[in-house]
């Protein structure tokens, strides 16, 4: 699920261009297929950052938006229905999200699970999402596969209901329960938003129930209720079909007409009234949760999406809690009163919420009442401080950058066109959005503060660790209304008002596809700088941007267990003050350029990610060198970063998935440093001193073996002219790394059980040590072998545990490795009551595949899916950076992708099945399970494997 929000905090989603496209001459009606009307042609623009499009409408009401982008041989198709949880009725919540699941379960001419299979086999990607206001379904495929997507989408729009069976309904109802368990009930703070919504909105308001729904409502429902929901909302007149990529409108409109024109209209849909939400007094609500830190959350009602005050409220949110220069950061985070503090102004179609959040540091407050007071004091400080020129300038710079970076992905452009058309009837609103933010004045920001926050009532939510209710901000003074919606639904099939699609098209035949489109790999150039940095660059003309990835050989493998986590602390320190600028001054300098520089540390590398508009590349590089050469290693910065790390570690110990991963690391790698989490342990991080981090940097933060990967619209000579004089100021070499990974310490055939009391789900990991990473050898070939077992949605494991049994939201298996070591594991989060049965099914699938191997049909499916995926692999600068980083790190030949494609074409069934026999012996695995041990142990003991309690 995704929540529809518009705010300055997510500008990359909000903005996709910055000028309204100029209209080109409209084609004559005779040029269009019968029954298709051109509504608007915005395909020509004088702006370099607009999203050109053409908008059409079919006679049945379907809106079609086409965006032509010939830069990559792919196409993204989005079908958005203007229905989300806000269109549901009280007592029937969760139907919109439930139908997102049902739409992937086959239709009249598409078999069960075939939608996933067809898209995967086509080398594509697909998904769907639901929020309060819309449901969308989207696919990205090589452009030669477009007709298949249109066939699939039209079949589930016009021919779905006869394929919706009682069995599918029951299985997907269990899948939704598993999704809720995984993403809400078993996640720290997972129920916060639905509890806030109950208090924030009046009883019965469309936003007062969660998008995923109340499980009691789904339990009452029957299959006919779901069909009735489809008939009410899933007509073409309530949908927008958006197609973007290497297409031409005149070529694809006949296909759109062929597949969609005959689908009959649904009932008319009228806009939902935007009734202002108001609170007469503060509403205090609280809950206990399995969390480490208490959390305070405040929510004020404001306006609705694209209201005239939205832009000023977004800027107010940025001033109060949007980064290192905000008031909440200054007053709570920098002073170590809070581990985290931030604000947001999330807007939906009918209402917006201005939110403030803080997680107080341990021992910093006696209760959340103090945190609430600190937040209110920051609001009062804003009244005195007012709005500065920098406040406005940095937001406008962010918007310019975000509007350009948003053009790097066809999917990103299509999703914005689709959302804007669905909610506002105008696909490209970039110019209007930029204009309304540019118009915001200091007085506007101060006015909206007075109007919507000062002295206004809010919902104040306290989330506290179990058994610590004394920490809540104030006693609850609000109780949600409870309803009795009766017993099971009595909706009958004869109650439905069916509508049938009648056409002469033979929809039983899957459309064919032309030849695979030619995929151009990034043309690259290489250079070694005088200080030893190897540079691999590529030029991309799609956007006037430069993306850099600097990788320094420094990470977990260079640490010792007593200093585990030091690499990540170093990365955190490099993101803080320099000798010339405070953290706040550095953040402001970057924000005014619309640029970003971020540091992170993994197993092998310290990575520096740089994003810049190319026109500001010199200034951005100067700030990068200041961070690298002049880190301040300020004591206050270190103390804050250390405490934040310690709290993150303790918070992660409440997450069952994290616990499972930690146990796998320890069992697979023993006491070697690779068994430790990247962030370190409570013991190791607590013992570190700033002098340790500084000495570590002086020893290892050197350029001699670093790698710099870049993608820019600038030519090689110009990029090097900016890079070389700056980077050669950085000198030095580091000791050679020597990594020796010991054998696993886990006992095969043993279940290691980690207790997480009262957890509704269990995390399962069936694991063994395996191959080191390669790109054309046994590791790569073993990944091909695993593809049909657990490497895609239609894999044997997922179809069994999710689609047939309804035990999980998703199950998978995979090889993961680096140069030094690797593991193979099968994994899922399952309902606690079926944990033993799930382990049994995992081993059944592993054993059957190991003994019988892949079928010829599965081999054909794997070949098509892998070899047609290249069209999607190198689209964005980020994707290019990842591809190029592997070339440098592993010394790959420039034609290694050709070698891989040849392997996929030539590998035999016998070779794949021999790999299965070699790597999937069930007796070679160990099992890690995190869940409620008292409930799980009786189930697990029936499996005939030793069960050992495992503690960290």
Token duo for residue 481: 């209304």
Q: Determine the pLDDT at residue 28.
A: 45
H helix runs in 728-834, sequence order: 778-790, 796-798
Beta strands in 593-730 (DSSP E): 596-601, 606-613, 707-712
* Same domain, yes or no: 884 and 921: yes
- The closest alpha carbon to 193, from 101, 60, 287, 270, belongs to 287
3-class DSSP string for 748-767: CCCEEEEECCCCCEEEEEEE
Tens digits of per-residue pLDDT, 805-829? 999 999 999 999 999 999 999 999 9
| Global pTM value | 0.91
CA distance 793 to 801: 11
DSSP 3-state percent helix, strand, coil across the chain (nearest 5): 45, 20, 35
H helix runs in 501-607, sequence order: 566-574, 583-593
* Same domain, yes or no: 666 and 772: no
CB atoms inside a 10 Å sphere around CB 478: 15
Q: Provide mean pLDDT across the span 79-97.
A: 95
What secondary structure does DSSP assign to 85-97, as a single string? GGGS-TT-TTHHH
Assess whether pLDDT exceeds 90 at residue 30: no
Token duo for residue 597: 């520089």
Token duo for residue 806: 């309804």
* Same domain, yes or no: 804 and 700: no
- The closest alpha carbon to 542, from 712, 402, 400, belongs to 712
Is 432 within a domain? yes
How many Å is the Cα radius of gyration of the chain? Answer: 28
Nearest 10 degrees: Cα torsion 693, 696, 698, 699: 180
- The closest alpha carbon to 402, from 875, 7, 14, 713, belongs to 14
Phi, psi of 811 (to 5 degrees): -130, 145
Confidence of residue 402 (pLDDT cuts 50, 70, 90): confident
Assess whether pLDDT exceeds 60 at residue 17: no
Is 693 within a domain? yes
Token duo for residue 801: 């545990």
CA distance 839 to 762: 11
CA distance 760 to 930: 11
Range of 303's domain? 283-409+424-471
Residue 180, C-beta contacts closer than 8 angstroms, at least 6 positions apart = 212, 215
CA distance 160 to 500: 10
- The closest alpha carbon to 99, from 114, 113, 86, 83, belongs to 83
Q: Provide mean pLDDT across the span 622-629.
A: 98
Token duo for residue 268: 């008319």
Strand partners, 75: 141, 245
Token duo for residue 724: 């070389």
Residue 914, C-beta contacts closer than 8 angstroms, at least 6 positions apart = none
CA distance 484 to 487: 9
Chain centre to alpha carbon of residue 405:
17
Give long-range contacts, CB 8 A cutoff, 24+ apart: 670-674: 670/742, 670/743, 670/744, 670/745, 671/561, 672/741, 672/742, 673/556, 673/557, 673/559, 673/560, 673/561, 673/564, 674/556, 674/557, 674/603, 674/741, 674/820, 674/821
- The closest alpha carbon to 108, from 54, 165, 70, 67, belongs to 165
Is 203 within a domain? no
| Mean pLDDT score across all residues of the chain | 92
Tens digits of per-residue pLDDT, 686-706? 999 999 999 999 999 999 999
How many distinct helices (H) and strands (E) make up the chain?
32, 24
Determine which helix (DSSP H) or strand (DSSP E) holds 827, and give its type and residue range: strand 822-831
* Same domain, yes or no: 817 and 708: no
* Same domain, yes or no: 755 and 723: no
Token duo for residue 20: 């309204």
Token duo for residue 502: 């009648």
CB atoms inside a 10 Å sphere around CB 28: 8
Q: Determine the pLDDT at residue 22.
A: 33
Is 58 within a domain? no
Tens digits of per-residue pLDDT, 901-935? 999 999 999 999 999 999 999 999 999 999 999 99
CA distance 614 to 618: 8
Residue 405, C-beta contacts closer than 8 angstroms, at least 6 positions apart = 12, 543, 545, 611
Given a contact cutoff of 8 angstroms between Cβ atoms, the answer to whether 587 and 323 are in contact is yes
Q: Determine the pLDDT at residue 883.
A: 87
Assess whether pLDDT exceeds 80 at residue 1: no
Q: Determine the pLDDT at residue 399.
A: 82
CA distance 908 to 915: 11
Q: Determine the pLDDT at residue 48.
A: 64
Determine which helix (DSSP H) or strand (DSSP E) holds 906, and give its type and residue range: helix 896-906
Coil, strand or helix at 715: coil
* Same domain, yes or no: 702 and 761: no
Is 291 within a domain? yes
Q: Does residue 47 or residue 207 have the better pLDDT?
A: 207
Assess whether pLDDT exceeds 90 at residue 643: yes
Is 355 within a domain? yes
What secondary structure does DSSP assign to 539-552, as a single string? E--SSSEEEEEEEE
Is 507 within a domain? no
- The closest alpha carbon to 71, from 244, 198, 323, 251, belongs to 244
- Give the CA angle between residues 688, 689, 691 to the nearest 5°: 130
CA distance 132 to 274: 14
Confidence of residue 49 (pLDDT cuts 50, 70, 90): low
* Same domain, yes or no: 366 and 299: yes
Q: Determine the pLDDT at residue 27.
A: 43
CA distance 584 to 592: 12
Q: Determine the pLDDT at residue 404.
A: 86
CA distance 904 to 914: 16
Strand partners, 80: 136, 240
* Same domain, yes or no: 446 and 590: no
Given a contact cutoff of 8 angstroms between Cβ atoms, the answer to whether 923 and 749 are in contact is yes
Residue 628, C-beta contacts closer than 8 angstroms, at least 6 positions apart = 574, 608, 701, 730
* Same domain, yes or no: 398 and 529: no
What's the total number of domains in the chain? 3
Q: Are strands 125-130 and 135-142 parallel, antiparallel or unpaired?
A: antiparallel
* Same domain, yes or no: 546 and 629: yes
Confidence of residue 569 (pLDDT cuts 50, 70, 90): very high
Is 764 within a domain? yes
Q: Determine the pLDDT at residue 47.
A: 67
Supply the DSSP symbol for 600: E
Q: Determine the pLDDT at residue 25.
A: 38
Tens digits of per-residue pLDDT, 213-267? 999 999 999 999 989 999 999 999 999 999 999 999 999 999 999 999 999 999 9
Assess whether pLDDT exceeds 70 at residue 836: yes
CATH number, domain containing residue 695: 3.30.830.10
CB atoms inside a 10 Å sphere around CB 22: 14
CB atoms inside a 10 Å sphere around CB 3: 14
CA distance 744 to 941: 24
Token duo for residue 913: 């099945």
* Same domain, yes or no: 528 and 640: yes
Confidence of residue 9 (pLDDT cuts 50, 70, 90): very low
Supply the DSSP symbol for 736: P
Assess whether pLDDT exceeds 70 at residue 669: yes
Supply the DSSP symbol for 361: P
CA distance 44 to 22: 6
Q: Are strands 36-42 and 53-58 parallel, antiparallel or unpaired?
A: antiparallel
Give long-range contacts, CB 8 A cutoff, 24+ apart: 528-532: 529/703, 529/708, 529/723, 529/724, 529/727, 529/728, 530/724, 530/728, 531/703, 531/704, 531/727, 531/728, 531/730, 531/731, 531/732, 532/703, 532/704, 532/705, 532/706, 532/733
* Same domain, yes or no: 760 and 707: no
Q: Provide mean pLDDT across the span 135-156.
A: 96
Phi, psi of 141 (to 5 degrees): -140, 160
Given a contact cutoff of 8 angstroms between Cβ atoms, the answer to whether 62 and 533 are in contact is no
Assess whether pLDDT exceeds 50 at residue 295: yes
CA distance 759 to 411: 37
Residue 940, C-beta contacts closer than 8 angstroms, at least 6 positions apart = 751, 753, 835, 836, 839, 929, 947
């Amino acid at each position: 699920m995704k929540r529809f929000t518009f705010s300055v905090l997510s500008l990359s989603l909000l903005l996709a261009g910055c000028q309204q496209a100029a209209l080109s001459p409209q084609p004559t009606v005779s040029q269009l297929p019968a029954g298709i009307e051109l509504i608007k042609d915005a395909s020509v623009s004088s702006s370099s950052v607009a999203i050109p499009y053409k908008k059409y409408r079919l006679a049945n009401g379907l809106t079609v938006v086409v965006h032509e982008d010939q830069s990559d041989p792919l196409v993204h198709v989005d079908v958005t229905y203007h229905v989300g949880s806000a269109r549901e009725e009280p007592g029937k919540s969760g139907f919109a999200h439930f139908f997102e699941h049902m739409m992937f379960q086959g239709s009249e001419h598409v078999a069960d699970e075939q939608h996933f299979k067809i898209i995967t086999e086509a080398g594509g990607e697909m998904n769907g999402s639901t929020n309060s206001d819309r449901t969308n379904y989207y696919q990205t495929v090589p452009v030669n596969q477009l007709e298949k997507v249109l066939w699939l989408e039209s079949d589930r729009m016009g021919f779905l209901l006869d394929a919706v069976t009682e069995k599918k309904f029951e299985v997907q109802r269990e899948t939704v329960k598993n999704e809720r368990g995984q993403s809400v009930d078993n996640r720290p703070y997972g129920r916060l938003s639905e509890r806030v919504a109950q208090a924030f909105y009046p009883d019965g308001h469309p936003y007062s129930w969660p998008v995923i729904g109340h499980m009691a409502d789904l339990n009452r429902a029957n299959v006919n209720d779901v069909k009735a929901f489809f008939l009410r909302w899933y007509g073409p007149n309530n949908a927008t079909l958006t197609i973007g990529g290497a297409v031409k409108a005149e070529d694809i409109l006949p296909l759109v007409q062929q597949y969609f024109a005959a689908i009959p209209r649904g009932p008319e849909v009228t806009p939902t009234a935007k009734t202002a939400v108001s609170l007469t007094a503060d509403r205090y609500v609280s809950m206990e949760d399995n969390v480490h830190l208490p959390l305070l959350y405040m929510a004020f009602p404001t306006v609705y999406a694209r209201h005239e005050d939205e832009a000023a409220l977004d800027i107010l949110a940025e001033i109060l809690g949007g980064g290192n220069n905000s008031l909440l950061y200054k007053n709570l985070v920098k002073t170590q009163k809070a581990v985290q503090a931030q604000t947001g102004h999330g807007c939906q179609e009918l209402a917006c919420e201005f939110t403030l959040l803080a997680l107080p540091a341990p021992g910093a407050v006696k209760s959340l009442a103090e945190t609430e007071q600190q937040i209110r004091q920051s609001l009062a400080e804003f009244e005195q401080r007012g709005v500065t020129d920098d406040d406005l300038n940095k937001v406008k710079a962010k918007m310019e950058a975000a509007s350009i970076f948003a053009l790097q992905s066809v999917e990103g452009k299509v999703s914005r066109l689709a959302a804007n058309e669905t909610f506002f009837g105008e696909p490209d609103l970039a110019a209007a959005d930029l204009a309304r933010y540019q118009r915001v004045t200091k007085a506007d920001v101060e006015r909206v503060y007075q109007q919507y926050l000062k002295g206004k009532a809010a919902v104040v939510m306290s989330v506290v660790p179990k058994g610590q209710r004394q920490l809540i901000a104030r006693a609850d003074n609000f109780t949600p209304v409870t309803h009795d919606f009766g017993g099971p639904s009595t909706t009958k099939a004869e109650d439905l008002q069916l509508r049938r699609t009648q056409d002469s098209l033979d929809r039983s035949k899957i459309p064919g596809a032309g030849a695979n489109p030619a995929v151009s790999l990034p043309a690259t150039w290489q250079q070694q700088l005088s200080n030893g940095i190897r540079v691999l660059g590529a030029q991309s003309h799609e956007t006037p941007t430069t993306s850099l990835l600097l990788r320094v050989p420094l990470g977990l493998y260079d640490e010792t267990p007593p200093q585990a986590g030091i690499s990540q602390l170093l990365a955190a320190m490099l993101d803080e003050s320099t000798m010339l600028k405070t953290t706040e001054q550095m953040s402001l300098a970057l924000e005014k350029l619309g640029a970003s520089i971020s540091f992170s540390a993994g197993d092998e590398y310290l990575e520096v990610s740089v994003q810049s508009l190319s026109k500001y590349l010199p200034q951005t590089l100067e700030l990068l060198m200041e961070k690298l050469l002049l880190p301040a290693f300020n004591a206050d910065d270190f103390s804050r970063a250390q405490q934040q790390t310690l709290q993150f570690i303790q918070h992660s110990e409440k997450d069952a998935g994290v616990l499972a991963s930690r146990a796998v690391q320890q069992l697979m790698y023993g006491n070697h440093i690779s068994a430790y989490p990247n962030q370190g342990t409570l013991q190791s991080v607590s013992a570190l001193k700033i002098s340790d981090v500084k000495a570590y940097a002086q020893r290892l933060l050197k350029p001699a073996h670093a790698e710099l990967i870049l993608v820019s619209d600038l030519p090689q000579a110009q990029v090097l002219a900016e890079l070389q004089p700056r980077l050669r100021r950085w000198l030095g070499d580091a000791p050679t790394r020597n990594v020796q990974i010991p054998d696993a310490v886990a006992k095969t055939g043993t279940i290691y059980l980690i207790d997480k009391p009262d957890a509704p789900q269990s995390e399962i990991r069936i694991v063994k040590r395996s191959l080191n990473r390669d790109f054309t050898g046994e590791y790569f070939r073993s990944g091909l072998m695993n593809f049909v077992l657990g490497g895609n949605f239609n894999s044997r494991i997922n179809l069994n545990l999710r689609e047939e049994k309804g035990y999980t939201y998703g199950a998978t298996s995979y090889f993961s490795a680096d140069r030094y070591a690797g593991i193979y594991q099968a994994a899922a989060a399952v309902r606690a009551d079926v944990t033993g049965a799930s382990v049994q099914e995992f081993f059944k699938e592993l054993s059957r595949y190991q003994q019988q191997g892949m079928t010829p049909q599965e081999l054909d499916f794997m070949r098509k899916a892998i070899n047609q995926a290249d069209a999607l692999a190198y689209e964005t600068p980020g994707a290019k950076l990842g591809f190029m980083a592997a070339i440098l790190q592993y010394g790959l030949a420039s034609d290694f992708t050709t070698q891989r494609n040849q392997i996929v074409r030539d590998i035999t069934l016998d070779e794949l099945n021999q790999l299965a026999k070699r790597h999937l012996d069930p007796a070679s695995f160990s099992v890690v399970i995190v869940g409620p041990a008292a409930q799980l142990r009786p189930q697990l003991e029936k499996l005939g494997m030793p069960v050992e309690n495992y503690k960290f």
